[in-house]
Structure 1
C-alpha cells in the first residue's frame, strides 16, 4: 500500500475522500474532509521537511502554485518522489486528478471524479458579467491571467476584468479596481476571509457576491458541488 503525504489542501481532500488509508501526512491548512486525523507537516509554504521524511512517504503530492520550488527540490534531493501538479483550468484539473490517482496513488478513478466531469460538462453560462476578483487586501490583490479560479468563473458566465494582466495575481490599488469597469465584485472567504462587513464597503455602487473560496479555488471533490453552489452564490449579490 502506498504512503502519501500531501502538501496541498485540495490534493489532501482528493486522497482522503478516495483512499484515506493512503494518507500519512498533510499540512495544517488541510481542513477537508472534516475530522481529518493525520500527522501535520506545517504549511504549504513552509513544510517541515524533516517530519515529512520521518513519515516515510512513497510519494508527496504538491502543486507548482502552492509549493515553493526550493522545498520541492529539497524533498527530491532527499530521495523522496514528488508528484507536482500544475492546474489552471477545470479541464486541466479533471485530467490531472485522474493521472494523480491512477499513477501516483495507484487507485481506481473514483465515482466522484466521473460525476465532477459530468456536472462541469453540463454547465451552461447565462448572461456574462465583468468582475473583479480580489483574493487579498492590504495590499489589494486580484485574480489575473491563466488561473483555475478565472476558468471556473468564466464557465459560470463571469468574465475576469484582469484576465489579460501580465501577472497571475497582481497587486492593484483600490482606486484602480473601482475604475476597472466591472459590474460585479466576487469576494471569496479564502485565502483572505472577506465577509459582509469586510470587503463590500470598498466597492460602492457595484454588485458584490460573497462566495465559498473552497468552491472557487480548490480542485478535488468540491468540483462536484461547485457549479451549482457557485452559480447560486454569484446570483445572490448585494450593493453598497
Structure 2
C-alpha cells in the first residue's frame, strides 16, 4: 500500500504513527499528529470527492459511524477503493486496527498497538462503580446510549452510564429527565461538543462532574496507549459545580 486518504481523525493518527509516508490526505478535523502536513479534503461528513480523487489514493479509509454512506458511495462510484471500519468496543478497536494496518494496508503491526493492548490489559480492577450520564452534545442534550466505544471504555474504568440500554446509540434526552435520573456522576468530554468548566457543569448543580479528554475517550489509535491513565485521573478529579 502506497497512498492512503483517511476520513477519520483517529485512523489518520493511527496510519501516521505507523507509516507517515503512506498518508496523502486527511480531513479538516484530523488534528493529530500535531503538524500533520497533508492535503485536506473537507470534513468527515462532507469530504470533497474531487479533492480525494485528485490525490490518486490506493485506498480511502472510513468508519461506519463517522462517515456518511452517501459520501462513501460517491467515492466508490468514482472508482476508489474504500475500506470501512466498525468500532463499538475496545476489543473491536484493537482487531479493526490490526486488520486495517496489517492486512489492508500491508504495514508491519506497530509497536504502539501492542503498547495500547498492554495498557488496557494491565488496568487495575475499579475500586467501585458509579452511575453516570454522559452528554456528548447540548442544544439539544444528547448522551451516550447503547453499544458505544466510549461507553465500553468508561465501563472498564468503573463508570456505568445510565442510558446504556437505550434503544438509540446517541439519544436526545431533555435535561430535566437527565437530572431526574439521579446520576452519581456527570461525564463531559470535550468532543464532539467542547464541554468546558464554564459550559456544561452548571447544568447539573450538586452532582460531581468529570471533564474528560474526548480524544482519549472516543479515538481509537495511539491515544489508547495513555487513555487508561489520562481518563482515570480525570474521573478521579470529578467535583460538583461551584
TM-score, structure 1 as length reference: 0.99
Question: What CA distance in whole angstroms lies between the structure 2 residues aligned with 1:105 and 1:222?
Answer: 20
Query: Which stretch has the larger CA shift, 72-81 or 130-139?
Result: 72-81
Q: Which runs of 5+ in 2 are unaligned?
A: none
Task: Please report how far the alpha carbon of residue 126 of structure 1 lies from its aligned counterpart in structure 2 after TM superposition.
Answer: 2.4
Task: Summarize the alignment of residues 126-137 of structure 1 with structure 2, pairs less than 5 Å apart.
Answer: 126-137=127-138
Question: What CA distance in whole angstroms lies between the structure 1 residues aligned with 2:202 and 2:193?
Answer: 15
Q: Is the 8 A contact 1:126 1:156 kept in 2?
A: no
Match of 1:113 in 2: 113
Question: What CA distance in whole angstroms lies between the structure 2 residues aligned with 1:213 and 1:24?
Answer: 25
Question: What CA distance in whole angstroms lies between the structure 2 residues aligned with 1:228 and 1:134?
Answer: 22
Question: What CA distance in whole angstroms lies between the structure 1 residues aligned with 2:215 and 2:16?
Answer: 16
* SS of aligned partner of 2:177: helix
Match of 1:101 in 2: 101
Query: Which stretch has the larger CA shift, 99-108 or 60-69?
Result: 99-108
Residue deviations 1:141-166 (CA, integer Å, cap 9, x gap)? 00100000000000000001000000
* SS of aligned partner of 1:13: helix
Match of 1:225 in 2: 226
Residue deviations 1:97-118 (CA, integer Å, cap 9, x gap)? 0000012211000100001011
Task: Summarize the alignment of residues 183-202 of structure 1 with structure 2, pairs less than 5 Å apart.
Answer: 183-202=184-203
Q: Is the 8 A contact 1:3 1:56 kept in 2?
A: yes
Match of 1:66 in 2: 66
* SS of aligned partner of 1:97: helix
**Residue 215 (structure 2) pairs with residue 214 (structure 1):** yes
Q: CA RMSD in A?
A: 0.7
Corresponding residue pairs, total: 240
**Residue 166 (structure 2) pairs with residue 165 (structure 1):** yes
Question: What CA distance in whole angstroms lies between the structure 1 residues aligned with 2:85 and 2:137?
Answer: 24
Match of 2:205 in 1: 204
Q: Which runs of structure 1 show a deviation greater than 6 angstroms over 4 or more consecutive aligned residues?
A: none
Question: What CA distance in whole angstroms lies between the structure 2 residues aligned with 1:9 and 1:179?
Answer: 35
Q: Which runs of 5+ in 1 are unaligned?
A: none
Match of 2:14 in 1: 14
Match of 2:76 in 1: 76
Match of 2:239 in 1: 238
Task: Please report how far the alpha carbon of residue 125 of structure 1 lies from its aligned counterpart in structure 2 after TM superposition.
Answer: 2.2
Residue deviations 1:7-63 (CA, integer Å, cap 9, x gap)? 000000000111000000000000000000000001000000010001000000100
Task: Please report how far the alpha carbon of residue 122 of structure 1 lies from its aligned counterpart in structure 2 after TM superposition.
Answer: 1.4
Q: Is the 8 A contact 1:11 1:220 kept in 2?
A: yes
TM-score, structure 2 as length reference: 0.98
* SS of aligned partner of 2:210: strand
**Residue 157 (structure 2) pairs with residue 156 (structure 1):** yes
Question: What CA distance in whole angstroms lies between the structure 2 residues aligned with 1:201 and 1:109?
Answer: 44
